[in-house]
A and B are shown apart, each in its own frame.
Chain A
Amino acid sequence: MSASATPAASAEQDEALAHFDALIAEGGTIEPRDWMPDGYRRMLIRQIAQHAHSEIIGMQPEGAWLTRAPSLHRKSVLIAKVQDEAGHGLYLYSAAETLGVDRADLLDALHRGQQRASATFNHPALTWADTGAIAWLTDGAAVINQAPLCRTSYGPYARAMRRVCQEEAFHVRQGYDLMRALCEGTPEQKAMAQDAVNRWWLPAVALMFGPPDTAAGGADARTAAPGAAVSRRAMAWGIKRHTNDELRQRFVDQCVPQAERLGLTLPDRAIRWNEERGHYDFTPVDWDVYRQALGDETHWARQRIAHRRTAHEDGAWVREAAAAYAARADTAPEETA
């Protein structure tokens, strides 16, 4: 429908927009049945879908180690974690569905490459220690990124995030504990831990928080401008509460002392406490270096999607059977078992 259809409709819409803006301004919550601007809806769908996709794509690098976990305790912890991530995917797809999209369509968009998961997971998990580094660093980054989303303006998203965040915080502690065990183990175990941190630090710092969106974050005018514009819009709508760079700084500040306690070296020689700022300095993210990882033209980007697509296609007959059965069960009284 067009906004200029009739003067009455237009006035009604102005009023709805004013109401929406006022609600956002006072930090209120938008619910599925409330009127919302198209741009707000589109931004939410895009962000929630990407988040949901990241949860289920993110199951793959760790999922690959389920069969090789070196103790039954660690195996149980890892199964529970991967299971949680599946649950996060489900909460988030449900939140997206409240905005009028269908999970099946979102999955199709992921499989066709029209929507993306976080490029963080386009890195391979090469050793057992990677499962610890992923949980400690990328889940750690996720918690910092997502904690403010528990207060995001869209109600179903905020509620989903509250459940997700509690579990993510648990994953971080377990990841740290896994790394601690390796660091206190044999020299070979500790070397494996260090190698994993060397490979997962930058993906966590760079990709989990997105492009620099402030000049302070090290962005030049070219990269900062688009990132900053998107961030500003998301913040104005109360979808986002902090800039990417603020959150990134918070993450670095959290990880440096943890790494010191573990006896691991974060692979960034510029990391140093800055008394004046009250924060750790670190090398600004060179977004160009990461543009490659963001693209689809890498082995692992393709592999993650191919893995998903294969599972989806192999399971098509099962989903069809379940759908056919459910349709028939509506009329079959015996199906209460």
Chain B
Amino acid sequence: MTTTSDAPANPTTPGPAVVAAVGGGTAPAPDADLAVHLLRLGDDALVLGQRLCQWITRAPTVEEDLALSNIALDLIGHARVLLDRAGRLDGTGRTEDDLAFTRPEREFTNALLTELPGGDFAVTVARQLAYTHYAVLYYEALAGCADAELAAFGARAAKEVAFHRLHADRWILRLGRGTPKSARRMRLGLERVWPYTGELFDEDDVMRRLAASGTVPSPAPLRPAWERRVTEVVARAGLTVPAPSWSARGGRDGLHTEEFGPLIAELQSVHRQFPGGTW
């Protein structure tokens, strides 16, 4: 059974079926699949960037305000590239801003990991650790794809996220091996986010078709490498990687946490207040 109310989507909620419906029942054009996939990656970057923006002016030190804004800035940059491309591929001609500011929350397809609300600094470090180790691996794989535009983006993004990964690695070490209090909080942070990490590697029909056609790589095969790397870093911090008894899913299908609505409302508030506005 799903044991905690943290899981917004339990295994009985419709999963990949929704995506199949979004992507079309019979194998849709590769462009449509790629648009779905890039939108997911873009939403991950956008929503995580949005969560990091909430730290700025509230971080433990001014240096961290600076570091977190630096990371947020890169993530918003990735979101812009990915949403722009998704909008060109899906045939709707929507711009990056159309996609970011006018979609209802059910149409966002970020992994739930990226939207988890607040928590203390350790929760943020834990999430950054999980995401950055995944994102470096995935963007490096993307850098090898045949699409020159995407490959170039993957190479650039992998380099940038490698810095974010270094930042996360350093913090988990400091917190894990700092004081008893920080070690306890870091352990709780890892436990909080770990059930949400599996979704990053999920593979559905869209992903399988894209991988089979060699359009873009699937994240699924990267999971063992990710496990190895995070386990190594977490161990150096004197902690252990949690083995959660459940795994959260739903984000890829637009089934979000209840805290996601306010996040999107905030993100879109000014844009929506001024219909026809130019910025």
Interface residues of A (CB under 8 A from B): 56, 59-60, 63, 65-76, 79-80, 82-83, 86-87, 89-90, 93, 128, 181, 184-186, 188-189, 192, 307, 310-311, 314-326, 328, 334-335, 337
The 8 closest A-B pairs by CB, nearest first: A315-B60, A321-B178, A321-B182, A318-B60, A83-B69, A71-B279, A63-B57, A70-B270
Q: B79 near A: Cβ within 8 Å?
A: yes
Contacts of A317 in B (CB 8 A): 179, 181-182, 185
Residue on A nearest B63 in the bound complex, by CB: A90
* Contact yes or no, A71 B73, CB < 8 A: no
- Among B38-56, those with CB < 8 Å from A are 46, 50, 53-54, 56
Contacts of B236 in A (CB 8 A): 334, 337
Contacts of A70 in B (CB 8 A): 101, 270-271, 274, 277, 279
Q: B66 near A: Cβ within 8 Å?
A: yes
Contacts of A93 in B (CB 8 A): 62
Residue on A nearest B120 in the bound complex, by CB: A314
Could you name 6 residue pairs across A and B whose Cβ atoms are closer than 8 Å?
A: A83-B65, A128-B270, A307-B58, A311-B57, A311-B60, A337-B236
* Contact yes or no, A86 B65, CB < 8 A: yes
How many chain-B residues does the 8 Å CB contact rule pick out?
A: 53
Report the bound CA distance from A188 to B279 in whole Å.
12
* Contact yes or no, A315 B65, CB < 8 A: no
Report the bound CA distance from A289 to B54 in whole Å.
35
Contacts of B73 in A (CB 8 A): 76, 79-80, 83
Report the bound CA distance from A188 to B182 in whole Å.
49
Contacts of A80 in B (CB 8 A): 69, 73
Q: B278 near A: Cβ within 8 Å?
A: yes
Report the bound CA distance from A71 to B98 in whole Å.
9
* Contact yes or no, B174 A83, CB < 8 A: no
* Contact yes or no, B66 A83, CB < 8 A: yes
Report the bound CA distance from A87 to B65 in whole Å.
9
Contacts of B173 in A (CB 8 A): 325, 335, 337
Interface residues of B (CB under 8 A from A): 46, 50, 53-54, 56-66, 69-70, 72-73, 76-77, 79-80, 83, 96-97, 100-101, 120-121, 169-170, 173-175, 177-179, 181-182, 185, 236, 266-267, 269-271, 274-279
Report the bound CA distance from A69 to B275 in whole Å.
15
Contacts of A63 in B (CB 8 A): 56-57
A314 → chain B, closest Cβ, in Å?
7
* Contact yes or no, B178 A86, CB < 8 A: no
Report the bound CA distance from A279 to B65 in whole Å.
41
CB contact under 8 A between A325 and B57, given known A70-B101, A70-B270, A79-B73: no
Residue on B nearest A326 in the bound complex, by CB: B174
Starting from the known contacts A76-B77, A324-B178, A325-B177, 13 additional A-B residue pairs (CB-CB under 8 Å) come to A68-B270, A70-B279, A71-B101, A72-B80, A72-B100, A75-B53, A79-B53, A79-B72, A79-B73, A93-B62, A186-B276, A321-B178, A325-B175
Contacts of B63 in A (CB 8 A): 90
| A315 in complex: contacting residue of B80, B83, B100, B121, CB < 8 Å | B121
A115 → chain B, closest Cβ, in Å?
15
CB contact under 8 A between A321 and B279, given known A66-B53, A67-B54, A79-B53: no
Report the bound CA distance from A80 to B56 in whole Å.
11
Residue on B nearest A304 in the bound complex, by CB: B57
* Contact yes or no, B267 A59, CB < 8 A: no
A196 → chain B, closest Cβ, in Å?
13
Contacts of B53 in A (CB 8 A): 66-67, 75, 79
* Contact yes or no, A320 B182, CB < 8 A: yes
Contacts of A90 in B (CB 8 A): 62-63, 66
| B59 in complex: contacting residue of A181, A307, A311, A337, CB < 8 Å | A311
Report the bound CA distance from A76 to B66 in whole Å.
14
B7 → chain A, closest Cβ, in Å?
26
Contacts of A186 in B (CB 8 A): 274-278
B95 → chain A, closest Cβ, in Å?
9
A34 → chain B, closest Cβ, in Å?
28
B47 → chain A, closest Cβ, in Å?
11
Contacts of A59 in B (CB 8 A): 56-57, 65
Report the bound CA distance from A209 to B57 in whole Å.
25
* Contact yes or no, A72 B174, CB < 8 A: no
Contacts of B66 in A (CB 8 A): 83, 86-87, 90
* Contact yes or no, B60 A319, CB < 8 A: yes
| B96 in complex: contacting residue of A72, A188, A335, CB < 8 Å | A72
Report the bound CA distance from A65 to B65 in whole Å.
15
* Contact yes or no, A320 B97, CB < 8 A: no
Residue on A nearest B84 in the bound complex, by CB: A72
Residue on A nearest B233 in the bound complex, by CB: A337
* Contact yes or no, A79 B59, CB < 8 A: no
